[in-house]
Structure 1
Amino acid sequence: MTDMPLASLRRGAPAEAVLALYRQPPLDALKPPAFEAPEGPTLPVAALLERETLTELLDRFTASFGEDADRRAAASIWSKFHLSAVSIPALVANLLLDLELPVAPDEMRLSVGDRGQTSRLWLPHGGWPLSSQAPETRFRRLIDAHCGPLIEALAGISGLSPKVFWSNLGHYVEYAGQTCNRHPDFAGSGEPLLRLLEIRTLSDGRRNPLFRPIRYLELGGEAPARVRRLCCIKYRLPEEALCGGCPLKPENLPAKRGRRRPRTDIAGEDV
């Protein structure tokens, strides 16, 4: 059980209610968001949308892997640092407490690690009650206001397909939905998010970039294997192996005959 009763969590101060969630399983192993005054120098998240700033951070991160490191692969891994840091706290608060955290780029700041990666995000407050429960609208501040513009900027600078960055985000989105579903005090709370991942075409006619980022495949084990639909191309960096859920790993190939092996081109796109 959490430190606070369920009813008290939802009635309490938003920031404290969010932080209380991280004191007990299944969230106690995750890094909570930061609401206090930032420690040391920080950068406005909106600055990531400026080409010069984002280029400098990606250059530093790429250089940390050694001379002639693959810039596109480094950009993909840089995005995983940032997208996990912003998406999981925002989705946990949204699903478990019906709170919308202030995660638009002009609402928050970030600490930058020595390699140029996002090391921590700083929020000014604990958010507001959700204005809508609809799957396509309740996550817009995170997906449309924050992640969409950043992914567009990353793709433009790195030359890597936006699909790879959306796939990286989808990995964390699906994880957040499944984790919230397992919470003992909020059983089934992840379903609105998981339903969003099943929508191929959004109501405005756009393709849903988060459509089914994860597959659960029968590969002969005791339980279905969680396999990403798209490779993050991390393996193109020096001394980096394929991720555990990579679709390119031989052990993650579908066991049934007639299932097409996922193939990946140099930019990480399905072909």
Structure 2
Amino acid sequence: MDPAVLREDMVDGLESPAKDVLQNETVAVAMRDVPRHEFIDDERTAYADRDHEVLGTRMLSPSTVARFMDALAPTAGDAVLVVGAGVGYTAALAAEIAGETNVHAIDIARPLVIEARQNLAGAGYDGVLVDRRDGADGLPEYAPFDRILLEAAVVSPPRALVDQLAPDGRLVYPEGTQRQRVVAVTGDGDRTEHDAVSLEPLLVEGEQPGTIERNRTAREDREYAQRRAESRRGWEQDWIEWERSVDS
């Protein structure tokens, strides 16, 4: 069957009352245009509403992607960062809306970075920058971002991602450990909760496929240490010149 027809059927199903996971018309148009079959080897199941396992990661089902993109609500010209590039499909949707040169995607797994680059080029979005990075660190050299999508579960969003958000921007991520809820926070601190999802946790260095060392607390320990240092007052700060303070 013609892939364009399959895409129409896919989006119609996501908008139907039975699922009702896609309300944003801009996102709906993008999902009708982006060739999802370019990101999956099995073209027959590319438009089925289910996850796919690719290179040790999970390509999210169309309904889960729709939930995230609905909450993200990118617009033309937005600077977008996708954390957890995976095979590149979500970045392609963002590129279809915001413009491919405005979209950046990062992943901690090098094989996925290569896969995403190839898939995006094959789908016509080779202007998207895909780089191998620790997702918790973001992409500071291209910040600030109007939209940041974190496609991995966290209890709280990495501080670096919050810092790289534009004042009127929006960060979307799955919050929780087991079953999560899609949460959107703005640069001004506003927070909204959306549908429930279930994703794997954010990986840190040493946890990507093919490595031996695994240390889930690396990112948290680093952030907590920095927060403690910044919260110290008075005698805890080694830079205070107490003698001069007393003399004055």
TM-score (norm 1): 0.25
TM-score by length of 2: 0.26
Q: Which has the higher contact order (CA 8 A, sep 6+)?
A: 1
Q: Is the radius of gyration larger for structure 1 or structure 2? A: 2
